[in-house]
A and B are shown apart, each in its own frame.
Chain A
C-alpha cells in the first residue's frame, strides 16, 4: 500500500470495486490474451451479477478489454466503442465456488485466433486478484509487472524462465506454478520488481516447452 492507494486512483465512478476494479480486470484479461480481443463472453458472479448494472460494471469490463484505463472518461460509453472496434461480447451470470462476491469469468477469442479464460475478483479499492487462468488456479494482483507463461509440464521450464530473467538483471518477487496434471499444460506466474521488456518475453517464448508468454504492466494512475 502507498499514499496513492489512499488518495487515488483517479477513476470513473461510482465504485472502486465495481467500476475501477472491473476496468482493471478487463485490462488484465486483454494483456493475458496478448492481442486485440474479437469476441468475449463474460459471466458475472455474486455482487457483480446483482448490482453490476447500476455500477456500470459491464461497461467497465468492456472498457478494460478495449484497453481503456479506469480514469478514461469513455468508460461509460465503452459499448459504442466496442462496436466501432469490432469487439463482440455477451454477458451472463454464473455461480462460482470460494471466490470473492465481486468476480467474473471472461472467455476471450483474439482477432488473430487464440483463446483465453480468465477468472478474476475485485475485492476493493480498485485492486484485483486473478484466481484462474485457462482452468488452472492461480493468485496474482497485477500490482507488479507480471509475466504469465503457459508451458508444458516438463523438467527445467522454471529454471530456464528464471534464468532468462536473471540474465536481464530482473528480480522475481513471487513465483507460482500450477499444472492441470502430470505432463499436461501448466501456467507459471512471475511477479517482478522491474518492468518486463518485450525482448525478455520473446526470449522466454523461444525456450523449449513454452506455449505462450504474456505480460501485464501496472498502469500509471495519472499521467504527470
Chain B
C-alpha cells in the first residue's frame, strides 16, 4: 500500500515496517515515484534550502501589485529587536517569519508552496526560527518536512488543500496541521502525538473562510500565515503535554471536508464575501469581464 488515505493507516504502516514515521512516509513516496531514498532526501533538502533562501531574500521595501502588502515582516522584526515584546523572542521570530514569507509570495518572489502558495509562510515560520532558537540540525528539519508532507498528503486525499474547494481552513488550516506534526517530531514526540497535533491544529481553524480582498493572495492571506504558525505551535505544545484530540484525527479531516463543502462559493476564494465584500474590500474588487 503506497497511498495513505487515512492518518490511522499511515501510522499503522509505519508501525508495521518498524520505521520512524518520517522514514515510512519517505519510503512510501519513493515507491510511488520510483526513486531511491537518497534522491528523495536530496529533493526534500532542496525544499528546505529554497525556504531558507526565500526567507533571506525578503526586502522590507517590496510591495505587492495592489500596494496593500509589504513591510510588515520588517516591522515585526524591529519590534522584536526592541527586546520588550509581548510574546517573547521565539514567538516574535515565528510571527516575523510568517509575515516575511507571505509578503515574499504576494510580491512575486520565489517561495515553496506548503501546501499552497497562499499558506507558504506557516511551515518555514516555525521551522526556521526553531533551528535558530533550539539549535536543531538540518537533518532533523528535513525529517520534519517529511512528517509535514505525509500529513499534508492525507489531508489532501481525504479533505482538501484548496481554498477554492474548502476555504482558508483547507489552506492555512492544512499548513498549520502539517507544521504542528512537524514540530512534534522535532521535539521528539510520538507518531500518535503528531496525529493529535495535526487534528487539534485543524480543529482550531475549522470553518475559516477564504475571502481575499480583490481576489488577490494579499489581504488577509499574509497575516493568516501568522495565525497558522501560532496555531501549529499551540497544537504541538498541547500534544506534547499529552493532551489528545477527543475527535479522532481522521474524523477531524472528514469534518473539514464537510465544512468546506457547506461553505457558500462567496467564501471560497472568489473574493465575493467576507472581508472582500466590505466597503474597504470592494474598492479592490476586480472589474467584471
Contact = CB atoms under 8 A, between A and B. Distances in A.
A126 B156 contact: no
Interface in A173-213: none
**Chain A residues touching B, range:** 35 or more
A55 B217 contact: yes
B64 interface: yes
Nearest to A51: B215
B32 A2 contact: yes
A4 B30 CA distance: 11
B50 A124 contact: no
A14 B64 contact: yes
Given A7-B149, A12-B108, A125 B43 contact: no
B125 interface: no
Interface in B138-154: 145-146, 148-150, 152-153
Interface in A4-59: 4-17, 19-20, 44, 47, 49-51, 53-56, 59
B156 A6 contact: yes
Contact of A125 (B3, B111, B113): B113
A93 interface: yes
Interface residues of B, number: 59
A75 B111 CA distance: 13
A3 B112 contact: no
A124 B164 contact: yes
Contact of A7 (B39, B66, B145): B145
B109 interface: yes
Contact of A9 (B45, B113, B214): B113
A55 B289 CA distance: 16
Contact of A10 (B47, B157, B164, B218): B47
B223 to A, nearest CB: 15
Contact of B29 (A2, A9, A221): A2
B43 A4 contact: yes
Given A7-B44, A14-B217, A73-B109, A222 B117 contact: no
Interface of B: 3, 25-26, 29, 32-33, 39-40, 42-47, 50, 64-66, 104-118, 120, 123, 145-146, 148-150, 152-153, 156-157, 161-162, 164-165, 178, 214-218, 271, 286-289
8 contacts: A6-B115, A9-B112, A10-B50, A10-B110, A11-B117, A50-B288, A73-B109, A125-B113
Given A20-B117, A222-B47, 8 more contacts: A7-B115, A19-B117, A44-B289, A51-B216, A54-B216, A75-B108, A125-B115, A222-B43
